[in-house]
């Protein structure tokens, strides 16, 4: 069957078409992956704080989820090739502007716009992916390609960017991204038809006001959550105002979805119990998998691995994702296994990884020590992400259209936001807790402290430092050891917390369905018994 989007000569080049679609999807997702990798360089370049960089990331997500609900209308009105070319050109221009921007507030605006146009490219790529699949494989295989690329794009970008950063200035990574996008322009021109032949659907009754309210709300909520700890929450007027605008914006957006004729979000979707369960599992998965970032920070910060070594570790995680993603999708498509079968083992594996790390972290682990747990964490993502997404999308009522996909994207935004703020606050709390515990025992009367200080002093004196210099350096070394041990114990405490929580989720997934079935059987039996008793009494 000929494609309505691809030129006729591509019919015999299925793999070329698939590679092109993968690259096209990657060119949109790279806006996130590249930024995440270069954020440390941007901190020094822009004079920004960590919260500013997090907010820039969330501004991009806000742009994506703002444009997502009306994106499908655009694809029914504009020709696919022209639409893609326009959006890729705009993303190239925005990357160039972003590269030379030195004002942090302008940078936030650029990142939001990048989210909008990258979202256009991503959704258009998803449409092309779905159009190239047989109808019975659209949901499992299409979801696997799309969400698998989402999971792996940061690693794939890092594999290239890491080599570039090690050899060139960090800005060169953006030059590579721009060249990649120019290459995608050529591929789109080469492989896609100018006219698809789809009947145009007029752009009327689009809720532009609702989208503006939603964008303002998302940014206000992100600002409140990310900057709250820094400004001591509601003791600062900025947080009070942002929280107020976020709450009012949310109320207005929900109200507007009730009153408009064509809502961007059909609220009937929340009447489905399975949909709500799926959203909860999706949010828990997002939060649970992000503990992997602690391992990357541990490898780079405590073990002092090079960028390329950390990237090699992420490649190990990617291998686990890909292998088990293919495994799970094959079972779903070929063996017709229910997606719910993967939930319990997936969460158990993710919880097991966190518990493993809670007992395993020391200041001197090697790559071989981390290889298996990091691979298993990727395996857990491969087992969970796509099956959960399929469950969420299939549980949404048919008449709600694309609302299930939109709400899933909102869940990703919220979970990522909570991940940034949650890990930051958890680390603040546990770091302070463990430091206070150590400081209580590090005194001038403690023999272990005295011996360690004397050992450091003698070491520095043997290297030619004066007595006073050696004493100051010894105190500094003690402080560094204290910070390192506090961070290690903090990581272990967070891993323990996540591990127990995820294993409880796996246990609930196992025991709740049979209990629910027994309750239904018992209820039906009681109703039948009551009816028989009533019938006998009447006669």
pLDDT in tens, 383-402: 888 888 888 888 888 777 77
Q: Ramachandran region of residue 7, left (φ > 0), alpha (ψ -120 to 50) or beta?
A: beta
Query: What's the DSSP call for residue 6?
Result: B
- Residue spans of alpha helices (H) in 260-342: 273-289, 292-301, 307-333
> What is the rounded distance in angstroms from the CA atom of residue 429 to the CA atom of residue 495?
14
| Token output for 193 | 């038809």
Q: Which residues pair with 6 in a beta bridge?
A: 192
pLDDT higher than threshold 60 for residue 37: no
> What is the rounded distance in angstroms from the CA atom of residue 507 to the CA atom of residue 500?
11
The domain limits of the chain are 1-206, 207-261, 280-513
pLDDT-derived band at 504 (thresholds 50, 70, 90) equals very high
C-beta separation of 494 from 423 below 8 A: yes
| Token output for 466 | 């004066």
pLDDT > 70: what percent of the chain?
A: 79
> What is the rounded distance in angstroms from the CA atom of residue 28 to the CA atom of residue 318?
19
- Mean pLDDT is lowest, of 38-47, 279-288, 451-460, 471-480, for 38-47
Reported pTM: 0.81
| Token output for 94 | 């925005």
pLDDT higher than threshold 70 for residue 35: no
Q: Is 454 exposed, middle or buried (0-12, 13-18, 19+ CB in 10 A)?
A: exposed
pLDDT greater at residue 491 or residue 466: 491
pLDDT for the residue 25: 77
> What is the rounded distance in angstroms from the CA atom of residue 296 to the CA atom of residue 472?
31
Which of 8-22, 61-75, 130-144 is most confident? Answer: 61-75
pLDDT higher than threshold 80 for residue 481: no
188-200 mean pLDDT:
77
DSSP string, 375-425: HHHHHHHHHHHHHHHHHHHHHS-GGGTTHHHHHHHHHHHHHHHHHHHHHHH
pLDDT for the residue 213: 87
Which of 60-69, 304-313, 343-352, 454-463 is most confident? Answer: 343-352
pLDDT higher than threshold 60 for residue 82: yes
**CA separation, residue 2 to residues 10, 132, 190, 268 (Å):** 9, 9, 16, 37
pLDDT higher than threshold 80 for residue 345: yes
| Token output for 197 | 């032949």
Q: Is 245 exposed, middle or buried (0-12, 13-18, 19+ CB in 10 A)?
A: middle
Q: Pick the closest to residue 345 from 150, 145, 147, 505 (CA basis).
A: 505
pLDDT for the residue 59: 87
pLDDT greater at residue 162 or residue 374: 374
Same fold: 1-206 with 280-513: yes
426-440 mean pLDDT:
71
247-271 mean pLDDT:
83
Q: Which residues pair with 310 in a beta bridge?
A: none
Q: Pick the closest to residue 151 from 389, 345, 341, 372 (CA basis).
A: 389
The set of long-range contacts for 406-412, using a CB threshold of 8 Å and a minimum separation of 24, is 406/65, 406/68, 406/69, 406/264, 406/265, 407/265, 407/269, 407/279, 408/279, 408/282, 409/64, 409/65, 409/68, 410/65, 411/279, 411/282, 411/283, 411/286, 412/61, 412/65, 412/282, 412/286
> What is the rounded distance in angstroms from the CA atom of residue 124 to the CA atom of residue 64?
13
Other C-beta atoms within 10 Å of 323: how many? 14
pLDDT higher than threshold 80 for residue 241: yes
pLDDT greater at residue 215 or residue 308: 215
| Token output for 429 | 């709390």
pLDDT higher than threshold 60 for residue 539: no
- Mean pLDDT is lowest, of 81-85, 280-284, 400-404, for 400-404
Q: Ramachandran region of residue 440, left (φ > 0), alpha (ψ -120 to 50) or beta?
A: alpha
The domain 280-513 having CATH identifier 1.20.1250.20: the answer here is yes
| Token output for 473 | 């350096």
pLDDT-derived band at 40 (thresholds 50, 70, 90) equals low
> What is the rounded distance in angstroms from the CA atom of residue 538 to the CA atom of residue 524?
21
What is the pLDDT of the chain when averaged over all its residues? Answer: 78
pLDDT greater at residue 442 or residue 105: 105
108-118 mean pLDDT:
87
pLDDT for the residue 264: 77
pLDDT, tens digit (0-9, with 9 covering 90-100), for 288-297: 888 888 888 7
| Token output for 377 | 């964490």
pLDDT higher than threshold 80 for residue 467: no
* CATH fold label, 1-206: Growth Hormone; Chain: A; (1.20.1250)
pLDDT for the residue 1: 43
pLDDT higher than threshold 60 for residue 522: yes
């Amino acid at each position: 069957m000929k494609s309505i989007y691809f030129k006729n000569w591509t019919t015999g080049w299925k793999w070329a078409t698939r590679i092109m679609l993968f690259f096209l999807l990657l060119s949109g997702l790279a806006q996130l992956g590249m930024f995440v990798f270069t954020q440390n360089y941007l901190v020094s370049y822009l004079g920004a704080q960590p919260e500013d960089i997090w907010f820039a990331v969330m501004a991009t997500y806000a742009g994506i989820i703002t444009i997502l609900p009306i994106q499908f209308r655009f694809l029914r009105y504009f020709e696919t090739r022209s639409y893609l070319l326009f959006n890729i050109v705009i993303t190239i221009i925005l990357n160039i502007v972003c590269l030379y921007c030195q004002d942090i507030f302008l940078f936030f605006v650029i990142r939001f716009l990048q989210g909008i146009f990258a979202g256009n490219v991503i959704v258009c790529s998803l449409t092309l992916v779905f159009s190239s699949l047989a109808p019975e494989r659209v949901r499992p295989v299409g979801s696997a390609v799309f969400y698998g690329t989402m999971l792996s794009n940061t690693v794939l970008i890092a594999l290239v960017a890491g080599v570039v950063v090690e050899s060139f200035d960090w800005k060169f990574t953006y030059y590579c991204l721009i060249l990649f996008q120019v290459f995608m322009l050529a591929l789109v021109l080469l492989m896609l038809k100018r006219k698809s032949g789809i009947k145009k659907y007029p752009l009327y009754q689009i809720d532009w006001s609702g989208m503006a309210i939603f964008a303002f709300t998302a940014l206000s909520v992100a600002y409140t959550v990310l900057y709250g700890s820094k400004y001591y929450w509601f003791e600062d007027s900025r947080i009070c105002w942002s929280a107020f605008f976020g709450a009012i914006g949310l109320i207005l957006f929900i109200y507007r979805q009730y009153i408009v004729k064509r809502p961007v979000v059909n609220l009937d979707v929340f009447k489905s119990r399975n949909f709500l369960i799926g959203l909860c599992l999706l949010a828990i998965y997002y939060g649970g998998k992000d503990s992997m970032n602690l391992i990357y920070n541990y490898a780079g910060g405590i073990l002092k691995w090079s960028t390329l070594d950390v990237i090699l570790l992420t490649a190990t995680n990617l291998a686990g994702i890909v292998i088990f993603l293919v495994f799970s999708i094959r079972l779903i498509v070929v063996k017709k296994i229910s997606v719910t079968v993967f939930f319990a083992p997936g969460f158990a594996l993710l919880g097991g990884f966190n518990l493993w790390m809670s007992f395993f972290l020391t200041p001197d682990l090697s790559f071989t020590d981390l290889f298996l747990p990091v691979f298993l964490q990727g395996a857990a993502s491969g087992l969970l992400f796509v099956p959960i997404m399929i469950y969420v999308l299939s549980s949404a009522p048919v008449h709600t259209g694309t609302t299930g996909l939109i709400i899933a994207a909102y869940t990703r935004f919220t979970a990522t936001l909570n991940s940034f703020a949650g890990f930051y606050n958890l680390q603040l709390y546990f770091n302070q807790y463990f430091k206070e515990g150590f400081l209580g025992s590090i005194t001038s009367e403690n023999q272990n402290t005295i011996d360690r200080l004397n050992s450091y002093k003698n070491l520095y004196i043997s290297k030619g430092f004066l007595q006073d210099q050696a004493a100051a350096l010894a105190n500094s070394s003690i402080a560094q050891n204290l910070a390192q041990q506090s961070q290690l114990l903090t990581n272990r405490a967070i891993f323990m917390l996540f591990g127990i929580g995820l294993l409880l989720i796996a246990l609930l997934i196992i025991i709740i369905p049979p209990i629910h079935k027994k309750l239904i059987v018992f209820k039906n039996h009681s109703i039948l018994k009551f009816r028989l008793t009533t019938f006998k009494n009447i006669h």
